[in-house]
Structures are given as C-alpha cells and as structure tokens.
A and B are shown apart, each in its own frame.
Chain A
Amino acid sequence: MRFITLALLCLVIACGDSTGKGGTDTPSAAPKKIFQFMRQEAYKSLDPVKQFDGASAELIQNVYDSLLEYDYLSRPYRMVPNLLTKMPELSADGLTYSFELRSDVRFVDDPCFPGGKGRPLVTDDVIYSLKRFAHGSLNVKSYTLWQGAVQGMNEFREQTQKGADMNKLDIAGIKKIDDHKFTITLSQQNPLALFPLAASQTAIVAREAVEKYGAEFEQHPVGTGPFKIKTLQRRGVTILEKNPTYHGTYPSEGEPSDEATGLLAARGKKLPFIDEIHLPLIEEPQPAMLKFLSGKMDWVAMDRDNFAKMGFKDEKGFHLRPEYVGKYEIYSAQMLTTEYWSFNQKDKLVGKNKALRQAIAYGLDIPTMLDKLENGRGVAIKSIVPPDIAGSERDTKADGYSHNIELAKQKLIEAGFPGGKGLPPITIEYRASTTRTRQQFEWNRAELAKAGITLLANFQTFSAYLQRIESGNFQVGISGWQADYPDAENFYALMYGPNKRPGPNEADWSNPEYDKLYEQSRFMPNGPERFALFARMNEILREEVPAIVTYTQIACGLRQNWVKNFKRNVMIDVPFKYFDMDPAAQAKGIQGAK
C-alpha cells in the first residue's frame, strides 16, 4: 500500500517538471500575444443595463462600446468620442446635443445575425440600447446615473414599468435623424449629462442578440468592442480574443511626459494589439502575487503586504526595491476616491456636539496612518473632492484638520468632556471585516486615546453596514465614495440635504446655505466662479464637520517588463485594448526571481 503513495509521489514530481517558469506552454507558428491577468471577483451580468459592479463593467467595457470613453493618456481625465466621429455638439439653447456615429463600427460575427456575419452599428442600435437603459423592469440598478436628465425618459420609464412595450414607445428627447445622426434633448441645461454615455451601463447592444438569446443574453454578449468572448466561465477562466474589425486607434496625444516614456510610440495604430487575454478568477491576493512573481501573470495590483515586500516610497514617489529593479516595473496612480468618517446627525452624542466632532478631527493623524498602515499608498486630503478632479483643494485652497492633540484636547473641553472625563465610548461602524479595517481601527483607537477619546468598533459585512446606516442606528460610519464621473459635483452631492438616507448622504446632514450653493454650482462649467462657490461649501463643511474627510487612495501595482503601452487609468481600470507585449520575452520569463 505504501507503493501507491510512492507511485503518487512519482507522478507528482513528473508533472511538476512540466509547469516550469514563465509564460504559456503552447508553442505556435507566429507567437500569439497572450496577456495573462486575473479577475478578483466574479462578474454579475454581462448585460450592460443589468449590472452595477466593477467586475461586470470590466468585461463589458472590453466587449462592448459606449458612445463616449475616457481618454487613455490625458490627465485630468476627460471624455473623448468612441463610437462618434467627434464630441457631440451643443445647440445654442444649451439643451440639445447632436451626435454623429462613425461609419466603420461593426458588431462581431455571431449566429444571431443572418448568415452569422456581424453588421455595421447604426442609430437604431443606440436608441434601442438607451431605451433598455431607461426601461423600468430591465434596469433596476443604475438608472439613477441619468435619472431625469433627458427629456421624456422618466415618462418612458414609468410606462414600461406599467408594462408598455418599449419597441412601441419613444423617448421624447431622443430623436433619430438618419442611420448615423441623432440628437438628445435634455430636460435642463446640464454639462454633466454626457458622463453616463461613457459608462458601461449605456454600452450599445445588438437587438438581434437580445431577442435571440433572451435570458441567456446576460452570458452571451455580442458587441462592437476591441475583444470578444472566446471562453466564458464566471468562476473559472474567462478568455477574451481580439476583434479583428475593431474601429479604434491608439491616441495621438497625452500628457507631456508620455512622449519621452514611449507611451506615444504607437500613435494612430489600429487597436487592439493583444490577441488573447486570460482572466482566471483569483480571490485571494497571495496566490495572485505568487503567480505574478513567477512570471505567469503580466500585471498585478499590490495590497499593503505585497507592496512592503516589493517596493518602498520616498519623496519622489514609489520605487521597486533594488533587488527587483529590472525584473518588474512599478506604477502608481491616485484614484478618484474619498474615504471619510460620517457623523450621524441624529445621534444624541456626536450629532449634537460640534466641538466633539472637531476634537475627533484634530485627534486623527491620517498622514502617519497612511505611512504605517498603507505604506504611503494614500494621500491625506482636506476637501471632499479627490485632488485629481477639478474643484478639489488644488483649486479651492480648502483647509481641513491637521493632527493636533493640543487642539483636540481644547475642543474636548469645549465639548464638555475635559480630558475625556464623562465621555462615553464612541462606536465606529466599519463596512468590512478584514485585516485592513481592523488594523486601521486599532491605529485610530490608539491615537484618539491620547486625547482621552475612547473608540469601539463594529465590523460587519457591507450590506449589514448599509442596513445599519439606513436605520439611523449608529454614531460614526466609515464611508468611501468612488467617482462615477470625474466631476466635483459627484462628491459634493454626498452632503446635499435631499440625498438623505437611503441616499448617499449617510450623515443625514442638511445645511440650507450649503444646499443652495450646491444647487447653484452643480451645473456650472469649471472655472473661477464655480470654484469660489466650492470654496465656500468647503468652509461650511469644515466648520460644521458632518464628516471628516481622511484620504484618497493610491493604486499601486506591478507589471512585467514585456508589457508595453501601460499607463494606469482609474476611469478605465482595464484598458486592455491599448496594451502591447513582447511574447518572446514573456516565454523566457523571469530570470532569477525570488
């Protein structure tokens, strides 16, 4: 019987040899460019109007197209035409946009088309897709992104909710002119109205596919995007392959530094360059990192633990440790996120005691926390808008709270709790129960204890957190928000009175002056006038402290040497179509890693 075990061992070692180091093990005539990456979460749906999660959006953005997209290389992030010949033109009264579709966009080949051949994309497809977006039963998740912006859309939605057939109904504000031209009329002047057209939820689908596949359409995308699905396994390996009839070309402009770093070498070339993308589902960070380090993966995001091993931060930025220089490349990019602490205005203690909230704000030491706990992969902020968006503290010169224990103690006295005497412990609600949240809590607990403030924590799952916040039964909630689109309004909305629970205004805070300023500023174009309003709004937020803004995250990761055209873009997230690679180098793999 021991022989069985011995035999098994031999088998094991024999197989072990075949795994080897480096790239793929399928030899072929012309080396195929196969990009090895991963998914961290299983997608929910590949039907654009039925999803609102990152994992789904990542795939949708690569197999479908939206009318607009974010420019790959330019910063600050701005929209550029994708399916259009140029950006939409606004009429004189500021209400109607005119769109002109490109004539070289084709749907991929699929059995749902006659003869199995894909066909060109036309205006009818756009209108069909936008109707699906507005449909009352089809889209229950993301309609809020564009709610009320387009004339007649809300009415269309109500009708479809009552059961009307969307093919017999029209949206008043969307008019077809011909197969490549159409207009969209807004219900009011609104410069933000175009942003949803760059989102995955308004991607253009083919009616034939929806009608043929019915319930299966969610797993059977038929799009115009740079890739198509070769293998779809929700929890296994999903493989994308190149769409040979894709219309896109590599951008010709970017940031000033892009020319020097070779990011513009491919300007004007037809996309995509990669032949195949392999996306296994890897839910744990450790196996992902191990895979990358052995050269079997081409790109990996780094969490705190992995970063500490591979890199370090100094005043000049993020760098690889000397032993890895040359083996991999490191990158970093500020995200468009804000982390903040919400104070429940209805709470008897923190809601009614402004000085107490200010004391807590002074007590927090965010820059050191970011250094110690996140290896500096975050930047402390003073305004609720992330620094990379117009209207942030760069433009408004907003002031926040810096760590100052003395001032914290003073404020505590003002609050009626000198030295913390008589102050009951304050409970903080966390929206996840991970190593990271635990450690952040322990850090903050130690810091605030220095001022005499005692903290308790409640770690829970995300939906439990949401339910708790909604019930109004909490003191402090640790919140975060990621930009839906790169405009400051998306963040100031978080403090707008009418957005109270269950909306994103978790604190249930409302201030009449702030609300008025918000309404004034929301549709203004960026410029000194708007920023002046923002500055005043920031002052109010600072004084009243309905929330303490803490930091913006920095995305940091590694890529292999053989990956080209790589630039981290936080609005696109997985810009596979621009990447290029050297398959020979990939096959050779890492020399002497570890």
Chain B
Amino acid sequence: MLAYAVRRVLYTIPVLLGVALLVFLLFNTVGEDPVRVALGRHATAQSIAELRAQWGLDKPVPLQFLDFLGQIVTFDYGVSFNSGEKLSKLFTQGAAVSLWLTVPPFVVGFVVNIAFGLLVAYYRGSFFDRFSTAILIMTMSISYLVYIIGFQYFLGYRLELFPVSGYEPGFEGLKYLLLPWLIILTVTAGEDVRMYRTMFLDETQADYVRTARAKGLSEPAVLVRHVLKNAMIPIVTYTMVAIPFLLMGAFLMERYFSLPGVGDLMISSINSGDFPVLKGLTMVLAIAYSAMVLLTDLIYAWVDPRVSLR
C-alpha cells in the first residue's frame, strides 16, 4: 500500500509538469499580449519595450518557463499585471467568494439529489419516475446562460424576490447569493439525479441485493441499508473529482451577479493577457485536481486491495 501511495504521488509530478508546459505555451505564445492591452493606442516602440522589460517578457522563452517552474515550487506566482496585487491575495479573496457561491448548493444539492435519486430508483418504472425524469431532462435542455438571464430578469427584477446583483462579505451578503444558488441547484439537479439513479439501479442488479430481498428485507430497507452504502463508492468518486472545480466558481454567474470570484478573475485575465494570474490560477487548480484524484485513488486502494496489486 505504501509503495502504491508513493508511486501515485510521484506520478503526479510529470502530470503537473505537463500542465505547466501546456499553460505556459498556450498563454505565452498565443493569448492576449498584456503589453498591448495595457498601452492600447498610446503605445510607442519605446514604451512597448520598456513595459515588456518591466514584466520580464523580454527574456528568452525557455528562461521564462524556468522562472515559471520556480514560481510553482515556491508557490509564489508573483503579482498581477493588471493590479499589481500578489496572486496569493487575489486568489484567497476570490476563492472566498467563489466557494461561498459554489459550495452551499453543492452540499445541499448532494444531499437533495441523492435522496431524490433514491426515491426515483425506488419507484423505477412508475409514473413518478418517468415524470420526474422528463422534468429533469427538461431542466437540462435549457442553456445555463438562459437560466441566468431569465431568472435574473424575472425573479430579481420583475418579481423582486431577490436582489438583481451585488455582493457583500459576511452574513448580510447572503441575500445576494440566494438567486445564484437557486440557479446552480436547478442546473445541476438534472444531471446529478440521473447519474445517481443509474448508480443505484446498477447496484440493485447485484447478487447481494437479491439475497437481501430473498431474506425478506423490505425494499426501502434494502435501498438504504445496502444499495446506498455500496453505491457511495462510485458516487463519492464522481463527486470528489468535481470538488476542485468548485474553486473556480461559476464564471458566468459571477459576471452577471457581480460576485468578485475566481471564475470571473480567470476570464478577465484571459481577456487582458494577465499571465501571472492565469498561470497561477490554472496551476493552483491543477494541483488541487491532482491532489483530489490522488486522494480518491488512495482511498480506492485502501478499500479495495486488489487495485494496488497492479
């Protein structure tokens, strides 16, 4: 087990290197040119050269990449071209907002959707099942953007149930998050419930379920006591891998509702070629993602020893 763990950890290193290379190549060589964005039409040959030098963009590309690798190792991604703020500060500020946006509906959604999935699996084939499935598919058939525009207009502006946009830190700020939360729950319900339903149904085909039923156990008991527990492995795997992306927030939501989160930060950085922020954000996300995958694999190996023998 230990050997497996060590191997797995070592394995993430080339992956992260690959990510760093990809990010570096993509944004240094293609993307926006931050110098031109900053200078606009007031650029002169001299000011372009001076700003490039100040931002270290005049160094040869391989050297810039080495610098970048150094930044990753020391967790110091430098300062944003746009605002001069340290990336760590930008990221923690933005992450606080993004997590407030994505985590509560994620948690609530998890509980609600599993419960609903169980229910639908229990009543499979019935009118309730088919009707719910139909409704869920319908909610999945509308674009995310349409939800945002529509809900903001109707629920925020016309019916005045929620504030249209805004953000405040702390408890008073909760009211600005309610509508975004509602949208996220609505958008993700369809996919999640049906995924859980499939996983539950898969489990109900297993032998141990037939045994339990043969023993006389009632169907709800079978579901909750056996199926739920066993289905949790694939469910948790599916869920855990989504967690790192919670950090990124939901950039569309953040733009429309004026929530200063990480997702919106990423999009504006792409638009203005703010390399330090882009590279820093993507690396942090990639590291978080690799960590989560690693964790999941290790838990899998611990739970199912056969895995580590490969």
Chain B residues, CB < 8 A from A575: none
In this assembly, does B191 line the interface, its C-beta being within 8 Å of a C-beta of chain A? no
Min Cβ gap B188→A in Å is 14
A30 within 8 A of B: no
Which stretch in B43-51, B69-77, B135-143, B279-287 binds the other chain? B43-51
A137 to B53, CA, bound (A): 10
Would B153 and A463 count as touching, CB distance under 8 A?
Answer: no
Say which one of A104-112, A178-186, A283-291, A368-376 lies at the interface with B: A283-291
Are the CB atoms of B83 and A44 closer together than 8 Å?
Answer: yes
Q: Mark contacts of A440-479 with chain B using CB atoms, 8 A cut-off: 1 yes-contact digit, 0 otherwise.
A: 0000000000000000000001111011000000000001
Q: A21-B160, A463-B273 are in contact. Are A140 and B260 (CB under 8 A)?
A: no
Bound together, the chains give a CA A8 to CA B45 distance in angstroms of 59
Chain B nearest CB, measured from A540 CB (Å): 22
The answer to whether A75 has its CB under 8 Å from any CB of chain B is no
A235 engages B94 (CB within 8 Å): yes
Instruction: Tell which of B115, B119, B260 touches A236, judged by Cβ atoms closer than 8 Å.
Output: B260
Residue pair A42, B268 in contact (C-beta under 8 Å): yes
Is the beta-carbon distance between B38 and A45 smaller than 8 angstroms? no
Closest to A281 in B: B258
Interface 9-mer from B165-173, B210-218, B295-303: B165-173
Q: Is B8 at the interface (CB under 8 A from chain A)?
A: no
Q: Across the interface, name the chain A residue whose C-beta is closest to B81.
A: A44
Asked if B152 contacts A290 (CB within 8 A), the reply is: yes
| Bound Cα distance from A281 to B260, whole angstroms | 8
Q: How far is it, in angstroms, between the C-alpha of A136 and the C-alpha of B32 when the chains are bound?
A: 25
A142 near B165 with CB under 8 A, answer: no
Residues B53-68 near A (CB distance < 8 A): 54
Q: Does A13 lie at the interface of the complex (its beta carbon under 8 Å from any beta carbon of B)?
A: yes
Known: A19-B175, A21-B160, A280-B166. Contact between A503 and B44, CB under 8 A?
yes
| Residue total for A at the interface (Cβ-Cβ under 8 A) | 61
- B111 is contacted by which of A1, A50, A218, A464 (Cβ under 8 Å)? A1
Roughly how many angstroms separate A66 CA and B42 CA in the complex, as a whole number?
21
A16 located at the interface, meaning its Cβ lies under 8 Å from any Cβ of chain B in the complex: yes
| B255 & A233 in contact (Cβ 8 Å cutoff) | no
User: Hey, which chain B residues are within 8 Å of A8, CB to CB?
Assistant: 108
Tell me if B149 counts as interface (CB < 8 A to partner A).
yes
Contact between A12 and B42, CB atoms less than 8 A apart? no
A16 contact from B45, B158, B162, B168, Cβ within 8 A: B162
| CB atoms of A235 and B260 under 8 A apart | yes
Q: List chain A residues, Cβ under 8 A from B97.
A: 236
Tell me whether A394 is interfacial, beta carbon within 8 Å: no
Q: How far is the CA of A481 from the CA of B42 in the complex (A)?
A: 10
> Could you tell me the distance in whole angstroms from the C-beta of B233 to the nearest C-beta in chain A?
21
Per-residue 0/1 for A137-154: is the Cβ within 8 Å of any B Cβ (1 yes, 0 no)?
100111111000000000
Number of B residues with CB within 8 Å of any CB on chain A: 62
**Which residues on the B side are within 8 Å of A502 (C-beta)?**
43-45, 48
Given A144-B47, A287-B258, is A463 in contact with B108 using a C-beta cutoff of 8 Å? no
Within 8 Å CB of B192, what residues of A? none
Q: Give Cα A296–Cα B156 distance, bound, in whole angstroms.
A: 13
Q: Is residue B22 within 8 Å, beta carbon to beta carbon, of the partner chain?
A: no
- CB-CB contacts below 8 Å: A21-67 with B: 21, 42-45, 50, 52-53
Q: Contact at B175–A18, with CB atoms within 8 Å?
A: yes
Cβ B161 vs Cβ A140 within 8 A = no
Q: Which of A13, A237, A287 is close to B152, meaning CB atoms less than 8 Å apart?
A: A287
A290–B164 contact, CB under 8 A?
Answer: yes
- Cβ distance B253 to chain A, nearest Cβ, rounded Å: 11
A413 within 8 A of B: no
A4-B112, A8-B108, A294-B160 are known contacts. Are A235 and B264 too (CB-CB below 8 A)? yes
Residue A15 is within 8 A (CB to CB) of chain B in the complex: yes
A481-B258 contact given A1-B112, A137-B54, CB 8 Å threshold: no
**Residues 248-268 of chain B: 1 if any A CB is under 8 Å from the residue's CB, otherwise 0?**
000000011110100011001
The 0/1 profile, CB within 8 Å of B marked 1, for residues 1-13 of chain A is 1001100100111
Q: Is the CB of A144 within 8 A of B174?
A: no
Q: Which residues of chain A have C-beta atoms less than 8 A from B41's C-beta?
A: 466, 479, 481, 504
A495 lies within 8 A of chain B by Cβ: no
Q: Do A464 and B32 touch across chains, with their CB atoms under 8 A apart?
A: yes
CB contact between A280 and one of B85, B115, B255, B258 (< 8 Å): that residue: B258
Most chain B CB within a 10 A radius of its CB, from A4, A234, A594: A234
Contact (A594, B47) CB under 8 Å given A4-B111, A236-B167, A461-B271: no
A50 near B84 with CB under 8 A, answer yes
A282 contacts B by Cβ under 8 Å: yes
User: A293 in the interface, Cβ–Cβ < 8 Å?
Assistant: yes
Assess whether A410 is interfacial by the CB under 8 Å rule: no
> Quick one: closest A residue to B176, CB to CB?
A19
Q: Contacts A140-B54, A467-B33 known; A5 to B112 CB distance under 8 Å? A: yes
User: Is A215 at the interface (CB under 8 A from chain B)?
Assistant: yes
Of A18, A141, A218, A481, which one neighbours B84 at CB under 8 angstroms?
A218
Known: A4-B108, A4-B112, A234-B83. A294 touches B43 (CB 8 A): no
Task: Note all chain A residues with C-beta closer than 8 A to B257.
Answer: 287
Question: Sorted from nearest, which 4 A-B pairs have the closest CB atoms?
Answer: A235-B260, A1-B115, A287-B165, A16-B161
Provide 9 A-B residue pairs closer than 8 Å at the C-beta atoms, listed in order of the A residue. A50-B84, A52-B39, A218-B83, A235-B264, A282-B258, A286-B149, A293-B157, A463-B32, A502-B44
